[in-house]
Amino acid sequence: MGSIKLIEADPYSVELDLAGTALLLIDMQRDFLEPGGFGEMLGNDVSVLRRTIEPCQSVLKAARATGLRVIHTREGHRADLTDAPLSKLQRGNLETGIGDDGPMGRILIRGERGHDIIPELAPNQDEPIIDKPGKGAFYETDLDLILKNGLIRTLIVCGVTTEVCVHTTVREANDRGYECVVLEDCVGSYFPEFQRMGIEMIKAQGGIFGWVSDSKKFLNTLGN
């Protein structure tokens, strides 16, 4: 590795120093992506998120083959819910919400089947998993420490959902001085208009939060 590669992106192409670049896969969990999970229980069509799985698999395979650092995140809580703010537990007046029994175990609780990452994108032993209680992957986690220790400055961002955990994380990363390249076909929203606007917002005003590219361009950059 240690090489500089150009990735085609919007609003303009950008150089990636591969030694300082990590792939960040955000919340590709059963609860969001599989039928019967929390996302579907909230009335969402999970098939629109499942479109991201194949491109994410290609990107993950290429990143591993190149030796890029790969980091996964999961949104969820302790079994006793002591790390979940009341606001998050109560908002929405849901009949079945975080911590309640669902078809894949207790919803968004660490260790439960629904909380885990989908098998198609299962982490390797050497890939850190960041368990986060919030939407942003930096909030109350050691992600920043792991990135700093790994001399990582650039994040290739994939995951769900575009306007919630992806956006929050990209904004947090941006404020901490990281460069983010979001792969459009590897991030998904249950709402088409949020997907479109979420992507637009990242690359607006000369790349106010970073760049937008896609899986094919990323694979071209890595020479796959």
Residue closer to ligand C5J (CB basis): 98 or 147: 98
Residue closer to ligand C5J (CB basis): 135 or 171: 135
Work out the burial of residue 72: count CB atoms within 10 Å of its CB; fewer than 13 is exposed, 13-18 middle, 19 or more buried: buried
Q: Does 189 bind ligand C5J (CB under 6 A)?
A: no
Stretch that binds ligand C5J, among 59-67, 86-94, 160-168, 172-180 (CB under 6 A): 160-168
Interface residue with ligand C5J, options 117, 165, 182, 187 (CB under 6 A): 165
Q: Using CB under 6 A, which residues numbered 89 to 128 contact ligand C5J?
A: none
Name the active-site residue from 56, 158, 165, 180.
165
Q: Does 215 bind ligand C5J (CB under 6 A)?
A: no
Measured between alpha carbons, how far is residue 107 from residues 6, 112, 115, 188, 199 in Å? Answer: 41, 8, 7, 20, 28
Contact between residue 105 and residue 115 where contact means Cβ atoms under 8 Å apart: yes
CA–CA distance, 126 with 221 (Å, rounded to integer)? 24
Interface residue with ligand C5J, options 9, 14, 27, 28 (CB under 6 A): 27
CA–CA distance, 54 with 78 (Å, rounded to integer)? 30
User: Is 27 an annotated catalytic residue?
Assistant: yes
Contact between residue 12 and residue 61 where contact means Cβ atoms under 8 Å apart: no
CA–CA distance, 72 with 102 (Å, rounded to integer)? 24
Min separation Cβ 75 and ligand C5J, Å: 5
Interface residue with ligand C5J, options 33, 164, 181, 212 (CB under 6 A): 164
Interface residue with ligand C5J, options 10, 34, 40, 75 (CB under 6 A): 75
**Half-sphere exposure (CA, 13 Å, Cβ side) for 74?**
25
Residue closer to ligand C5J (CB basis): 21 or 73: 73
User: Is 165 an annotated catalytic residue?
Assistant: yes
DSSP alpha helices (H): ranges in 25-66? 30-33, 38-41, 47-50, 53-66
Name the active-site residue from 31, 131, 132, 158.
132
Provide the annotated active-site residues. 27, 132, 165
Site of interaction with ligand C5J (CB under 6 A) = 27, 32, 75, 135, 160-161, 164-165
